[in-house]
Structure 1
Amino acid sequence: MFDVALFAEATITLLVIMDPPGTIPVFLSLTGRKSKQTRLGAARQAVLVSFLVISLFAVGGEVILRYLGIGIPALQGAGGLLLLLIALDLLTGRGSTEPEIAEDVNVALVPLGTPLLAGPGAIAATIVFVRQADGHLASYLALGAAIVAVHLFLWLCLRYSGAVIRFIKDSGITLLAKIAGLLLAAIAVQLVADSVRGFMAG
């Protein structure tokens, strides 16, 4: 048996939260001037990091948060502050002066792998779906398949985003960096606001 309803719900929810097309401007702003091989490696690493983080919280998210005494609002606040730092680097151009290796690591781990893809929203949604599964094997299989499907789509979006570079050139990449920085700043502020509301409600 396979829980088709849970698979569809989890896939759609995670796609909306993780927003694969929306990650393309951030990805290109950080890797657009690098070689194709470097971009492909960064895309693969970012998706792999996201997959591992989401899978980890699917398996033991509630136990981890309970053990550490961390609530979802705290997770949202930390993710928001981390994204805000990256957004400021993109907006001011300070990230372009860092060594190339550091940039590669940042692209794969921060902000793409986490917290932009595997962020507080995706983690919280995954934990909720695990609760919905309620110990049923068919539901767990459906949730696992949904997580794999979403990350496959994420990889495809990042894998073929390099085609955009041929049209936008260097000036377009610079513009994308500013737009991506603004979008990331807005997402960061929203995460912090959600965190504050969560603490007040709790």
Structure 2
Amino acid sequence: MSAVFDARLFSEVFITLFVIMDPPGAVPIFLALTSTMTRAQRNKASRQAVLVALGVIAAFAIFGQQLLAYMHISLPALQASGGLLLLLVAMELLTGKMEEPSPSGAKGVNAAIVPLGTPLLAGPGAIVATMVFVQSSDGTAGDWSSIALALLAVHVCLFLAMRFANVVHRILGDSGTILISRIAGLLLAAIAVQLVADAVIEFVATA
């Protein structure tokens, strides 16, 4: 069994990604971004966001280093761009633009992919952490399966957290959801500023 599964590596990857991606903390932001959606649309958005995040992190785990090197993109640049994108979304949440109805429903679908799927869930922190685990592994089948299972387990937790956000929405009501949207916008702005600040510090340190 140890040849195909490493429990220690699994626990390290799972705990690290769980802390970075923070499934409970994603609930208020998910509610804010999907405040104008119906229950069915919100359920669909939760699936889309998790699948996008899983696909992005898996792709970077396998091809990330080669892709960034080929395009001459540094990790701090990726981090700064993600922070700027999140800052724009945070401004929309704080000003109430996210609560404006969208008849076509396309706005809700886009929100599930960008910024929820990436860069909020599949952000620079999660991407870099996964790439580091992959690069530091021995490359054996056991290491690969342990990392893959841990990655999948974290995304299952994310899906469950957002899937049951409907319960939270029913408890809070429309007024409570608007309040959560404002708080989420403030928190998201802080996350965005921190991402950009960390990227600037890294740029200066490596200059």
For the criterion TM > 0.5, the same-fold answer is yes
Match of 1:111, SS state, is: helix
Q: 1:142 pairs with 123, 140, 146, which one?
A: 146
Residue 203 of structure 2 is aligned to residue 199 of structure 1: yes
Residue 55 of structure 2 is aligned to residue 52 of structure 1: yes
Runs of at least 4 residues off by over 6 Å: none
Name 1:67's counterpart in structure 2: 70
- Quote the Cα distance in structure 2 between the aligned partners of 1:102 and 1:179: 25
- Quote the Cα distance in structure 2 between the aligned partners of 1:164 and 1:75: 33
- The Cα RMSD (Å) is 1.1
Residues 61-140 of structure 1: pairs in structure 2 closer than 5 A: 61-97=64-100, 99-100=102-103, 101-140=105-144
Residue 21 of structure 2 is aligned to residue 18 of structure 1: yes
Q: Which residue identity is paired with 2:24?
A: P
Per-residue deviation, 1:33: 4.0
Aligned 8 A contact 1:46 1:108 in 2: yes
- Quote the Cα distance in structure 1 between the aligned partners of 2:186 and 2:171: 22
The one-character-per-residue Cα deviations of 1:120-152 (angstroms, maximum 9, x if unpaired) are 000000110011113222111110111110101
Per-residue deviation, 1:173: 0.7
TM-score between both structures, scaled by the size of structure 1: 0.96
- Quote the Cα distance in structure 1 between the aligned partners of 2:168 and 2:20: 23
Q: Which residue identity is paired with 1:191?
A: L
Aligned 8 A contact 1:95 1:103 in 2: no
TM-score between both structures, scaled by the size of structure 2: 0.94
For structure 1, which runs of at least 5 residues remain unmatched after alignment?
none
Q: Which residue identity is paired with 1:162?
A: N
Structure 1 stretch displaced more, 190-199 or 104-113? 104-113
Name 2:184's counterpart in structure 1: 180
